[in-house]
Amino acid sequence: MSLPRARLLDGYRTMRTIRAFEQTLNELSLAGRVPGFLHLCAGEEAVAAGVCAHLGPADAVASTHRGHGHAIAKGVDLDAMMAELFGRRDGICHGKGGSMHVADTEKGMLGANGIVGGGIPLAVGAALSAKVLRTGGVAVAFFGDGAANQGLFHESLNLAAVLALPVVFVLENNGYGEATPVEYHARVRDLAVRAAGYGMPGAVVDGMDFFAVHAAAGEAILRARRGEGPTLLECKTYRYFGHYVGDPLTYRPKDEAERMRAERDPLDLFERRVVAEGWLATGDLRRVDDEVAAAVAAAVRHAEASPPPDPADLMRDVYVDYPRPPES
Amino acid sequence: MSLPRARLLDGYRTMRTIRAFEQTLNELSLAGRVPGFLHLCAGEEAVAAGVCAHLGPADAVASTHRGHGHAIAKGVDLDAMMAELFGRRDGICHGKGGSMHVADTEKGMLGANGIVGGGIPLAVGAALSAKVLRTGGVAVAFFGDGAANQGLFHESLNLAAVLALPVVFVLENNGYGEATPVEYHARVRDLAVRAAGYGMPGAVVDGMDFFAVHAAAGEAILRARRGEGPTLLECKTYRYFGHYVGDPLTYRPKDEAERMRAERDPLDLFERRVVAEGWLATGDLRRVDDEVAAAVAAAVRHAEASPPPDPADLMRDVYVDYPRPPES
Amino acid sequence: MAERTLTFVQAINEALHQAMERDPTVVVIGEDVAGGGGRAAQGIEDAWGGIMGATRGLIGRFGAARVIDTPISEAGFIGMAVGAAATGLRPVAELMFMDFLGVCLDPLLNQAAKLRYMFGGKARVPLVVRTLIGAGLRSAAQHSQSLHAFTTAIPGLKTVVPSNPHDAKGLLLAAIADDDPVVFCEPKTLYFTTGEVPAEPYTVPLGTAAVVRPGGAVTIWAVGRMVAVALAAAETLAAEGVEAEVVDVRSLSPLDEATLLASLARTGHLVVVDEAPPRCGLAADLAALAVDRGFDLLRGPVKRVTAPHAPVPFSPVLEDAYVPSPAQVVAAAHAALET
Amino acid sequence: MAERTLTFVQAINEALHQAMERDPTVVVIGEDVAGGGGRAAQGIEDAWGGIMGATRGLIGRFGAARVIDTPISEAGFIGMAVGAAATGLRPVAELMFMDFLGVCLDPLLNQAAKLRYMFGGKARVPLVVRTLIGAGLRSAAQHSQSLHAFTTAIPGLKTVVPSNPHDAKGLLLAAIADDDPVVFCEPKTLYFTTGEVPAEPYTVPLGTAAVVRPGGAVTIWAVGRMVAVALAAAETLAAEGVEAEVVDVRSLSPLDEATLLASLARTGHLVVVDEAPPRCGLAADLAALAVDRGFDLLRGPVKRVTAPHAPVPFSPVLEDAYVPSPAQVVAAAHAALET
Ligand SMILES: Cc1ncc(C[n+]2csc(CCOP(=O)(O)OP(=O)(O)O)c2C)c(N)n1
Ligand SMILES: Cc1ncc(C[n+]2csc(CCOP(=O)(O)OP(=O)(O)O)c2C)c(N)n1
Ligand SMILES: [Mg+2]
Ligand SMILES: [Mg+2]
């Protein structure tokens, strides 16, 4: 099943941007140029891109600690995002959030989230808003295989099913929660089977294949938009880097990531497909690559040029309105 | 499948004791003679009796706000239990716990629990102790249909499956969580299907039929004892009284309870079966009825004769050991 | 206008009706807030209207789309309410007993309280969580706690505790209109106490304390159910010739430091009364305020009257000994005046 | 015996080894406490040993039956630990960051803390929950909180916060040997600080504070990471001729009121330093103690130095402004001495 050329290019651009962004950050972080810890999603690009291709600004996504890809796919400004990761004043959160809290509510990006499972009920809430306010919007909750063992997952899915809310639960199964393999932390092959416990459709998708994700997500989002309720979509995927930048990766076979990169890389798979089918030419893709490289480099320059926040803003935005905070 | 005569009489005595205990409490509570709120389990006797018939003092159960039946079936002393409900010094918890916290750790009764779902992980913990300390014991978590929507349910079942612990999860589906029917709070006919999400066997049992519960629980407990891991057992049952004593019961059809009492009463079903099969004579059962009635009446007398706790004991048993509590 | 008397729970109910009437984005969410799972077809829609009737009648008036019964999934539905608040609704979620914060702290602690700050000011979370607090109903350790200090401690949340029907209505309307997340604690033993309540909608602004009894000898800061206990103690003290000034703290965060300290300035002596246990509680918080910003005003020790450092016991004699009494407040006032 | 220097995390690790060695009922439970899901077959059993290595080596020595990797299910596994503690084990559960209390408060608040009392003394819950607290690692609002006041506030729980490797080992061994549930808070920025630690097992009793610097002019009560901040401030003050006495509170519940008040008796002036925000926190709790039981000793206001009433920000410049500094403690000491 093909897509219009512009949509194909958009999908590819999203994936390439995520890849370039994450690779750049890996280097910057290892070089000590970015504060704090980073959870990178290189390898998982097809999920964010394939799902968010169906979403507009009236639709909401809630994300995870590994949230850069979702933010990029949801259209968050690259410069402002990079500045945020640097902790700068021009950051999308003015430096208050950092990598784990990148957010842009105007774009429907309800935030990365430092609490495993924490974003899931937020997406359900966005779906409730869409339903009550009849915006026609849908919500998507992204979360990992590890998060599927949190109580928040269970309660959120059942609640969404009971209230028939327009939300899609996208489980990014990358095989590990930190150092723990999914084969250890759950006794089922497919976590998607849990959907049946809520009377909700569940599906397993090849999360390395943009087209597979795009098709399955399209269907689920359409169901949601039609008022037919939620879906659980398990995307089998893989993270190339460690759990965080600096992870010694002692817990997975040395060649596992190399094999995935060589055989299942989502950008390669995409390229092979579109070229083989004659939908796009290699030159089209290389042009995107160049544009993306330039954009990411510009974002780094923008971030580095941005001043740090003013310490006087420490107490700003704790509340919308608060008569005199307590002295300390 | 028959049982030895003594086991049959035990099972009946347990059910009859629970029934008499709860009916007596309903009257006492309506008459204002028992403090606080009571959640009675009349109608659900076959579950507690059928499951606990397989348990010894080295086995543990964790219970719910509707816990009198589990405590009785687990062998907690009737006098001490009644005194507890009256808030007296001779209560099993010296008046500190009341109906929602009836417990006797020496009997392996880890407590009624005021938090919906709160007891489930405690049972998992008792199973961990049994496994690590190689006691040969098993643990049982009793909980309701409503509790199956708590995150604690989800996390506990998955954890028990992952660690292959000797625990049986007994879901008492009485059709309602407070005023909310199960058809509203879950979109599945059988909550037992959730077991599949944890790679755990799940079964649906007629919870009004002592023999059905006894057989299914026996199998699940044997599995657990053999080290083959946990099971989820959904027992379809019914509570005759309201959610609490005083509940106006506006949320269920007027004749529903009457129909259940007439057609599906666990004591009646038991009696019909044992008499029809010639396992016991009606006279045997009436003798038990009389003994039970006397025992419950004696428990009430004991409770009423017991003095209230000494207010000086207010600060006792907060800790095993605490150097001077703060003044207030 | 003629006087009109309502119970505390009627005042809450009226506030909810008026808020939903005026603002179509207000929704009510919780376990059995209608009851019967909204089974309109069977004519048993509003079977409960909340466990103590606070939400009764709402579903009939505003429909199941805005009065939402939930499964027993507090973390799920309060988390949902947070997400809904961040995307255009003004949810009023009911957490049946504050003890159940145990199963749903995260959506408040890590989400509602922090989204706006973490997002650099880009989010608003106009959420209200209504919840019952307090001992006295022989409900034992897991249904009797007063955990208002927990939410007061969390930057990003606001917390209020009304002590009478008038404030219950006015503070609830203010909380619902507020653009920040507010935890609205309802002392359950006040539910059927009565008081004058104007029929029209009105607000009691968050961040305002109220002097509920003037007096020059000693100040008593009290909250929730303890306001009545303080007033009873003040009567006894008055009979002894000691005029106590009683201040109803009522808004725990934001805190009306000015009104509290102004009273202390008038008397120089202070007793703080709170129903929660003593450690890291509101009483300690207010005593610390006194000894920091009000040290020059103090002419004696700040005495706290709180529950003891113990869980709430079931037995009536023990529970009665547990809850702070007017006699304890009188004794504390004596001690505060002793220096 | 020769001096022996360990890091804070090595001291914790040694205490865990020694406790497990001596008592076969001690088990360690948590996410990646071994890592790799205990996949012995693949030779990657101890892949992590805890996110910062505190539990490293345990699974190799004591096996997967006693060193238990869990799914990301804090309420489940801490609840399990409570149940295990009530039935014969002495679990040491690891809650990776104390911020995650949001998803697992119930097993502590409503179960571990209350079982013994509710059961009339029939249960013991010898549980330890180890958890990281504090800002400073640029981890933003959900991975930087210091929630030790939350557990201190709960009757039935004990809470300790060691400030150095020696106490880390001794308090952890005492906590594991204790028959009550203990929340053991580890200030994460201290993890790689070093100090003298005896090799043999020893305990620092719960309920004891320590005077870590004598001085007669002003008392500073501090906890955890703030002890070093207080000591740095004391150096500056000493240069001004003001000798500060620094007391490491270290056991928050039970609290060593005697040692704290004895120091106040010596100086008459008090500063309390805590890393958490001000409302209903430990600093308020201790200031309240001072103005109640220590009022006659006080010759000036009690000044608190805490984080501000805000979430922890990400950006280094903001986070550095957020965490209490020696300069703030010096200023507070000046204010405390001013009257
Ligand atoms: C409630 C909670 N528990 C634990 C953590 C620590 N933690 C951060 S990421 C992570 C692993 C999450 O695994 P998964 O959901 O599979 O997402 P992935 O990292 O693989 O993308 C853990 C345990 C946390 N942030 N929140
Ligand atoms: C965490 C929590 N939420 C809500 C309640 C209030 N509550 C007490 S019993 C109950 C219904 C429980 O339903 P179910 O699990 O089906 O048990 P049943 O009462 O039917 O035996 C509720 C909501 C509670 N005690 N704890
Ligand atoms: Mg994962
Ligand atoms: Mg039920």
Rounded CA separation D314/B89 (Å): 54
**CB distance from A158 to chain B under 8 Å?**
yes
Using the predicted structure, report yes or no on whether residue D301 has a pLDDT greater than 60: yes
**CB distance from A326 to chain D under 8 Å?**
yes
Q: Using CB atoms, which residue from C73, C155, C207 is nearest to A323?
A: C207
Distances (CA, A) of C28 to A167, B146, C32, C170, D90: 20, 20, 11, 18, 44
Neighbour count for residue A189 (Cβ, 10 Å): 11
Q: Using CB atoms, which residue from C137, C139, C304 is nearest to B328?
A: C304
Q: Whose alpha carbon is nearest atom 13 of ligand 1?
A: A177
Does residue A326 belong to any structural domain of this protein? no
Q: In the structure encoding, which two tokens stand for residue B302, read together? A: 């004991």
Neighbour count for residue B20 (Cβ, 10 Å): 21
C96 pocket-lining for ligand 2 (C-beta < 6 Å): yes
Stretch C134-138: mean pLDDT = 98
Please report the pLDDT score of residue D43 as a whole number.
62
Q: Using CB atoms, which residue from D32, D51, D306 is nearest to A328?
A: D306
Quick one: A284 exposed, middle or buried, by C-beta within 10 A (0-12, 13-18, 19+)? middle
Contact D16, D54 (CB under 8 A): yes
Please report the pLDDT score of residue A323 as a whole number.
87
Please report the pLDDT score of residue D45 as a whole number.
67
Rounded CA separation D50/D32 (Å): 5
Residue B128's CATH number: 3.40.50.970
**CB distance from D298 to chain A under 8 Å?**
no
Rounded CA separation C312/C319 (Å): 7
Which of chain A's residues have a Cβ under 8 Å away from the Cβ of D35? 178-180, 250-251
Contact B114, B103 (CB under 8 A): no
Q: State which of D72, D143, D145 you would mutate to test the pocket of ligand 1, scoring each by most atoms of that ligand within 8 A of its C-beta.
A: D72
Q: In the structure encoding, which two tokens stand for residue A22, read together? A: 């994450």
Please report the pLDDT score of residue D210 as a whole number.
98
For the CA of B116, the nearest atom of ligand 2: 26
Q: Using CB atoms, which residue from B95, B97, B115 is nearest to C103?
A: B115
Does residue A204 belong to any structural domain of this protein? yes
Residue C229's pLDDT band (cuts 50, 70, 90): very high
Q: State which of A39, A64, A116, A155 you would mutate to test the pocket of ligand 1, scoring each by most atoms of that ligand within 8 A of its C-beta.
A: A116
The SS3 assignment for A169 reads strand
Contact A318, D309 (CB under 8 A): yes
Residue D81's pLDDT band (cuts 50, 70, 90): very high
Which of chain C's residues have a Cβ under 8 Å away from the Cβ of A96? 117-120
**CB distance from B162 to chain A under 8 Å?**
yes
Distances (CA, A) of B12 to B66, B240, B281: 20, 18, 12
**CB distance from B150 to chain C under 8 Å?**
yes
Residue C47's pLDDT band (cuts 50, 70, 90): confident
Please report the pLDDT score of residue B326 as a whole number.
72
Catalytic residue among C143, C148, C166, C269: C143
Residue C38's pLDDT band (cuts 50, 70, 90): low
Q: Whose alpha carbon is nearest atom 11 of ligand 1?
A: A177
Mean confidence (pLDDT) of chain C: 96
Rounded CA separation A57/A68 (Å): 17
Binding partners of C (≥3 Cβ pairs within 8 A): A, B, D
Q: State which of A18, A47, A65 you would mutate to test the pocket of ligand 1, scoring each by most atoms of that ligand within 8 A of its C-beta.
A: A65
pTM of the predicted structure, to 2 decimals: 0.98
Establish whether the linkage from the previous residue to C254 is cis, with ω within 30° of 0.
Answer: yes
Sign, Cα dihedral of C293, C299, C305, C308 = positive
Render C26-64 in DSSP notation, one character per residue: EEEEETTSS-GGG-GGGT-SSS-SSTTSTTTTHHHHH-T
Cβ–Cβ below 8 Å for D141 and C110: yes
Does residue B328 belong to any structural domain of this protein? no
For the CA of B174, the nearest atom of ligand 2: 20
Domains of chain D, residue spans: 5-196, 210-337
Contact A99, A28 (CB under 8 A): no
Render C215-229 in DSSP notation, one character per residue: -SSEEEEE-TTHHHH
Q: Whose alpha carbon is nearest atom 20 of ligand 2?
A: B177
Cβ–Cβ below 8 Å for A153 and B150: no
Return the ligand number nearest the Cα of A179: 1
Q: Whose alpha carbon is nearest atom 21 of ligand 2?
A: B144
Does residue A311 belong to any structural domain of this protein? no
Please report the pLDDT score of residue A328 as a whole number.
53
How is domain D210-337 classified at the CATH fold level?
Answer: Rossmann fold (3.40.50)
Contact C67, C27 (CB under 8 A): yes
Kindly state the percentage of chain D with pLDDT values over 70.
97
CATH superfamily of C5-196: Thiamin diphosphate (ThDP)-binding fold, Pyr/PP domains (3.40.50.970)
Which of chain B's residues have a Cβ under 8 Å away from the Cβ of A200? 187
Could you report the per-residue pLDDT of D102-131, keeping only the tens digit for each? 999 999 999 999 999 999 999 999 999 999
Higher pLDDT among residues D1 and B58, named by residue: B58
* Best to test chain A binding among B120, B154, B180, B184 (most A CBs inside 10 Å): B154
Cα of C155 from ligand 1 centre, angstroms = 24
**CB distance from C119 to chain D under 8 Å?**
no
Contact C241, C216 (CB under 8 A): no
Residue C105 identity (one-letter amino acid) = L
H or E segment and range at residue C6: strand C5-7
Residue D339's pLDDT band (cuts 50, 70, 90): low
Of the candidates C269, C280, C338, the one whose C-alpha atom is nearest the C-alpha of residue C306 is: C280
First to last CA, chain D: 48
B114 pocket-lining for ligand 2 (C-beta < 6 Å): yes
Rounded CA separation C48/C65 (Å): 17
Q: Using CB atoms, which residue from B151, B196, B200 is nearest to A151?
A: B151
Which of chain B's residues have a Cβ under 8 Å away from the Cβ of D160? none
Residue D37's pLDDT band (cuts 50, 70, 90): confident
Quick one: D338 exposed, middle or buried, by C-beta within 10 A (0-12, 13-18, 19+)? exposed
Could you report the per-residue pLDDT of C79-98, keeping only the tens digit for each? 999 999 999 999 999 999 99
Q: State which of B45, B178, B238 you would mutate to test the pocket of ligand 2, scoring each by most atoms of that ligand within 8 A of its C-beta.
A: B178
* Best to test chain A binding among C119, C180, C286 (most A CBs inside 10 Å): C119
Kindly state the percentage of chain A with pLDDT values over 70.
99
Binding partners of B (≥3 Cβ pairs within 8 A): A, C, D
- A273 contacts: CB under 8 Å, gap ≥ 6: A211, A279
Distances (CA, A) of D78 to B193, D73, D83: 26, 8, 9
In angstroms, the separation between the Cα of residue B93 and the nearest Cα of chain C is: 10
Q: In the structure encoding, which two tokens stand for residue C298, read together? A: 């103090």
**CB distance from A106 to chain C under 8 Å?**
yes
- Give the chain D residue nearest C309 (alpha carbons): D155
C46 pocket-lining for ligand 2 (C-beta < 6 Å): no
B178 pocket-lining for ligand 2 (C-beta < 6 Å): yes
Q: Which domain does B64 fall in, by range?
A: 5-306
Residue D40's pLDDT band (cuts 50, 70, 90): low
Establish whether the linkage from the previous residue to D254 is cis, with ω within 30° of 0.
Answer: yes
Neighbour count for residue D243 (Cβ, 10 Å): 15
H or E segment and range at residue D7: strand D5-7
Cα of C73 from ligand 4 centre, angstroms = 14
**CB distance from A93 to chain C under 8 Å?**
yes
Using the predicted structure, report yes or no on whether residue C233 has a pLDDT greater than 90: yes
B103 pocket-lining for ligand 2 (C-beta < 6 Å): no
Does residue A42 belong to any structural domain of this protein? yes
Q: Where are the alpha helices (DSSP H) in chain C?
A: 8-22, 58-62, 74-85, 105-106, 115-118, 148-152, 165-177, 226-239, 257-267, 282-293, 316-322, 326-337
Q: What residue ranges of chain B have pLDDT lower than 50?
A: none
Cβ–Cβ below 8 Å for A36 and D314: yes
Which of chain C's residues have a Cβ under 8 Å away from the Cβ of A95? 120
Q: What residue ranges of chain A have pLDDT lower than 50?
A: none
Binding partners of D (≥3 Cβ pairs within 8 A): A, B, C
B116 pocket-lining for ligand 2 (C-beta < 6 Å): yes
Based on the residue annotation, tell me whether C143 is a catalytic residue of this protein: yes
Q: How many domains does chain A have?
A: 1
**CB distance from A250 to chain D under 8 Å?**
yes
Does residue B326 belong to any structural domain of this protein? no
Contact D244, D295 (CB under 8 A): no
Using the predicted structure, report yes or no on whether residue D1 has a pLDDT greater than 80: no
Of the candidates B224, B233, B51, the one whose C-alpha atom is nearest the C-alpha of residue B135 is: B224
**The residue to which tokens 């699974």 are assigned:** D59
The SS3 assignment for C237 reads helix
Does residue B324 belong to any structural domain of this protein? no
The SS3 assignment for B231 reads strand
Higher pLDDT among residues D29 and C36, named by residue: D29
Please report the pLDDT score of residue A262 as a whole number.
98
Assign residue B247 a region (left: φ > 0; alpha: ψ between -120 and 50; beta: otherwise).
Answer: beta
Stretch C165-189: mean pLDDT = 98
Mean confidence (pLDDT) of chain D: 96
Three-state secondary structure of D222-261: ECCCHHHHHHHHHHHHHHCCCCEEEEECCEEECCCHHHHH
Does residue B44 belong to any structural domain of this protein? yes
Please report the pLDDT score of residue D39 as a whole number.
65
